[in-house]
Structure 1
């Protein structure tokens, strides 16, 4: 018997039971999206907006406009803010089905379970085709972790496939560079109906750091219809898993109006 077999038997089961209640997501202590508290904002102050590299925070009349779909989780705003209006948090589960839910709103309403269509055909399995549309490979590194022994995505009936013809969901990373736009469209058009799209990472959601330049678009907006948005730079494996389960109606959306439950 090989040495690694003995090591495995001695180590025991490595796979987490998460997202089971009370189980380990593997992301404890990991910084997530900065938390915005407008009540702590000092009138006329725009220090956080001045340092934001993607214009996720903009100073406007009456306060700040905060768009988590543009946030790259750099934490510069939390360092620049003199009043703790922007503070660090562990809010990483930011998957939404409506782009508007990533924009902070004073009058947030609880998110829309009713707005998410039933997908009974995928209760048991889901096949994903991933397309890198100009990513820096940060998101790809997190996607690879989904198949490691700890997360073991297959246990949830979710699989990656090499062919778009066998895929139910097109998972896109990167800001959609000019060179990758045609291959992306080719992959989407090769998918059979019904077909869905998930934007993973801030680049795919809004363009990120490099979006909107001479060689790159601003994510999937105006390119493909998006069913799930998951910002982050990059989003961690647990965030990706939760967004996929949310797509399958096996988990609830936790973000509404730019705010996460709890």
Structure 2
């Protein structure tokens, strides 16, 4: 008997029951995106913006100074939390940040409370497709210029703890067999044509998941002579998932959103109930 077989028989089942069991996601000690409390901001203070390398925090002066916070650019480095003298920026465990609308990653004073259901024929067709194929999803992954941080988290999806196959979700080598194009990286200029060709090779219906802050916005290195600013200018994105990198549970949550088996938790830059 192989050593690992014996170990498995003695240790029992290692796979998590999440998301059926809400507290078994394995991310209890993981720091997520910082939370923002505008009531604690001090007039004239710019310390959080000054240390924010990807410029996720910026101050605008449109007659009245205001802070703009874009979680689509945030890399969760926590420097703003350390620099903030008033506690307006605080650490959190917010990691399930997949959204369907890019604006939901931007902090708003009065966020929307609903998903804004679309009753168009296209939306009804998409809902019907999700009902039919909601138990299965095949993914084609394209690294469009990442640092491989997101790839390390993607690999964890197939370990015994997360065991992505139990949810009916699989990676495929061919775009012709894929329902979802999962993109990581800033989409460098050298990868634009390859990414577009992969998307065009996929059969309808097809979805796109921008995975990681680089794919959502270009992150800290986007907008250079060689790096793009994410997937949006190239392909239509269905779900945006920021993070540097997003953890495996966040990836699973976003994948389940694609097939209608999980609800969006962030709206207007705020996690529901926060």
- How far off its partner does 1:111 sit? 3.4
Residue 114 of structure 1 aligns to a residue whose secondary structure is coil
Alpha-carbon shift at residue 23 of structure 1 (Å): 3.9
Q: 1:121, 1:210 → 2: CA distance?
A: 40
Aligned equivalent of 1:99, options 97, 102, 120: 102
Structure 1 gaps, min length 5: none
Distance 1:111 1:29, change over 3 A: farther
The question of 1:223 aligning with 2:211 is answered no
Query: Unaligned stretches of 5+ in structure 2?
Result: none
Query: Normalising to structure 2: TM-score of the pair?
Result: 0.93
1:186 alignment partner, SS class: helix
Give the 4+ runs in structure 1 shifted more than 6 A.
none
In the alignment, is the contact (CA less than 8 A) between 1:43 and 1:63 conserved in 2?
Answer: no
Query: Structure 2: how far apart are the matches of 1:33 and 1:142?
Result: 17
Q: Per-residue CA shift, 1:165-184, capped at 9, x if unaligned?
A: 00000000000011111111
- Residue 192 of structure 1 corresponds to 203
* Match 2:146 to one of 117, 135, 148: 135
Secondary structure of the corresponding residue to residue 117 of structure 2: helix
Alignment of 1:60-71 (within 5 A): 60-61=60-61, 62-71=65-74
RMSD: 1.1
Q: How many residues align structurally?
A: 262
CA-CA distance at 1:113 after TM superposition: 6.5
Corresponding position of 1:9: 9
- What SS class does the counterpart of residue 192 from structure 1 fall into? coil
SS of 1:120's partner is helix
